[in-house]
Each structure stands twice: as structure tokens, then as C-alpha cells.
Amino acid sequence: MISIKHAAFVFATSLFLSSCGENPDAAQLASKTRAGESTAQGFYNRGTAAEKAGKYGRAMKDFKTITSKYPLSPVAADAAYRRAKLLERDGEPLEAFEAYDAVLTKYPASDHYAESMMRQETIAHQAAQGHIKNSFVGFKSRISVTKTTEMLGKVRDNAPRAASAERAQFVIGEVRQSHGSGGNDIALAISAFRQLTRDYPDSKYAPEAQYRIATILLAQSNDGNQDAANLDRAKLAFDDVLIRYPSSKRAADAKLAISKLSSGDIQQSYDVAEFYRKKGQTSSALFYYGEAVRKSKPSPLRSRAQAWINKLSAP
């Protein structure tokens, strides 16, 4: 691989020299270019030898020197990829993510493009799942929501037409939804899910994204904003699931939710709460338990609903 790039570099240089004629400045520039290419090759040879010998720190330094000082050399793309792999091997996934990103943005014609994209996607989703931690003075914590969504955004933007982009956009919404109890994160979750349904309407994630929008709006209506307008927005969002994705798995759930929202029956509110509780959708369950309590007089049903509210709301 390197020999082919080297041959191409030499050929391009020869063409450049032939076009220079008697221009001494151009000839000097070509000479410096050849010297830089030779120096980069020297760092590359030393770096690969260090890698084979298990001296990974030394290898990463040589590869970084190539990408920073000789980014246009024939060995630069390979050096960038090798450095990314070593960073990942050395337990530095966040640095590896950025190194893979450099391969994708600076060397799109590299033979390592597809592999770099796959590794970058894997690291971003590991961060979203909480498998990658920040270390500070012996303490470890999850990667911030902002950093995680930025990483997922790069995965999406580096291959906007690939299936990986759809998945990344959906997980951006999930991350925002799971980390936010209200305010900006929840608004950004809705925005992320809406972007998915807009940009990737035929995605397998789109029905779930639309359904998530509806359930988030329901949860918001239980957060001190229980008025007709909030409930209407939730109903419209559920309607969109039925209209846009009538054959999806979420269509039946949306139909049930619409039916229950349209009824003021206390038992139905309690039944819907039970439905969502058993599915693990706590916010929606709390909303409907609250409806049962709010609309009913003291009774065994109201007591059961209040007991579930207390249990699900406990820290």
C-alpha cells in the first residue's frame, strides 16, 4: 500500500518539476517536499517498529508527529489510523474517537475509512450506554450528556445517508430523554426525535421516535401544566403515529393512549397507568395514576393509585 502511494507521490513530484522549468524557487520547493516525505517515512518506519516491539507510547508519538507535521505525506493516513487503534487499545476511547474522526475528515480516500467509521460509531454508543467513564483524581463519572450527544452527532454527520446516522440521531434523543427530568434536556429530546422523523421518515426508528414525542408531551402535562392545550399536543402526537406509521408496533399503543385520553373514566385512567407501569414507562404511568387520584373521591382505587405514585416517585 505504501509503495503505491510512494510511487504516486514521486510521479506527481516529477510532473511538478517538469512544469517548473528553470524556476529555482519551484525546484527548491520540490526538494523540500521530497525531504519532508522522506522524513515522514522515517518516523513511520520507526513507529511501526516500536508498535511491533510493544512500545506503544513511542509508536503513538511518531505517528502523531507525522499527522501534525507531515499531514500530506503518503504515510499520513495510515499513521493517523494506527495511532487511533493504539489509543483505543491503550484505554483512551475518547482520544481514539477524535483520532478516528481525523481519519474520516482529513483522509476520506483512506483504505481505513470504513473501519474508522465503525470504530467511531462503537465508541460513541459505548459512551451513550455509560460504558465509558471520565477519570479525575481517582474518581470516575459518566461522560457528560453534551459530550455524548456531540460524539453521536459526528457519527451522524460523517455518514448522513448510512443506517448509522439514523441510529445515532435516535440515541441522541434517548440520551436527552433519559438524563432530563424537565427543561432544556426534555426540549432537546423532543427536538432530536422530531429531527429523526423529519430527516429519516422511513427509518425503522421513526415510529418509536414519534411515539416518544407523544409520551414526553404527556409527561410534561403532568408537571404542573395539565391543561387542554398540553393534552391536545399529546393527542396530536399519538395521532401522527397512527397516520404516519399505521403498521408499526407502536400503532396499537398510540391508539390505546388516544382512547384513554379521550375518556374521563377513573378506572380507565388507572388501567392506562398500569399498562405503562408494566412496560417500564414510569413518566406516563405517573401521569395516569395522577389522573385517577385527581378525578376520584376517597376510595380503594384512589388509594392504590396514590400508593403507586408514592412508590414510583421515591428517589
The answer as to whether 225 is a domain residue is yes
Domain boundary among 225, 251, 277: 251
In a domain, 278, yes or no: yes
- Of 58-72, 80-94, 125-139, 235-249, give the lowest mean pLDDT range: 125-139
Question: What does the pLDDT look like over 196-241, one tens digit per residue?
Answer: 999 999 999 999 999 999 999 888 776 655 455 667 788 899 999 9
Task: Assess whether 267 and 200 both reside in one domain.
Answer: no
pLDDT on residue 297: 78
Which triple of cell numbers denotes residue 267?
378506572
Give residue 181's pLDDT. 59
At residue 141, the pLDDT reads 74
Helices and strands in the chain: count of H runs, count of E runs: 15, 2
| pTM for the model | 0.72
DSSP H/E element including 82: helix 76-89
Which of 300, 225, 295 lies closest to 260 in space, CA to CA?
295
> Over the stretch 261-280, which tens digit does the pLDDT of each residue have?
765 567 768 888 998 999 89
77 falls within a domain: no
Per the structure block, which three cell numbers stand in for 313? 416517585
Percentage of the residues of the chain whose pLDDT score is greater than 90:
60
Q: Is the pLDDT of residue 194 over 80?
A: yes
- Outline where DSSP puts E strands in 97-197: 133-136, 139-142
Q: What is the pLDDT of residue 292?
A: 85
| Averaged pLDDT, 285-290 | 90
Is there a domain that residue 277 lies in?
Answer: yes
d(CA 129, CA 93): 14
Chain segment 127-147, per-residue pLDDT in tens: 999 999 876 555 667 889 999
CATH number of residue 184's parent domain: 1.25.40
Give a yes or no: residue 164 inside a domain: yes
Asked whether the predicted pLDDT for residue 35 surpasses 70, the reply is no
Given pLDDT bands bounded at 50, 70 and 90, which one contains residue 259? confident
- Helices 93-106 and 113-128, axial angle in degrees (round to 10): 140
| Per-residue confidence (pLDDT) for residue 23, from 0 to 100 | 60
Co-location of 268 and 247 in the same domain: no
Q: Residue 89: what pLDDT?
A: 94
**Structural domain count of the chain:** 2
Checking if the pLDDT of 111 tops 70, the result is yes
Of the residues 227, 251, 275, the one at which a domain ends = 251
Cβ–Cβ under 8 Å, residues 44 and 70: no
- Residue 203 lies in domain: 160-251
Question: What pLDDT, on the 0 to 100 scale, is given for residue 301?
Answer: 87
Whether 309 maps to a domain, the answer reads yes
Say if 280 falls within a structural domain. Answer: yes
In one-letter notation, the amino acid at residue 309 is: I
Final residue belonging to a domain, choices 201, 222, 251: 251
In this structure, what C-alpha cell is assigned to residue 216? 414526553
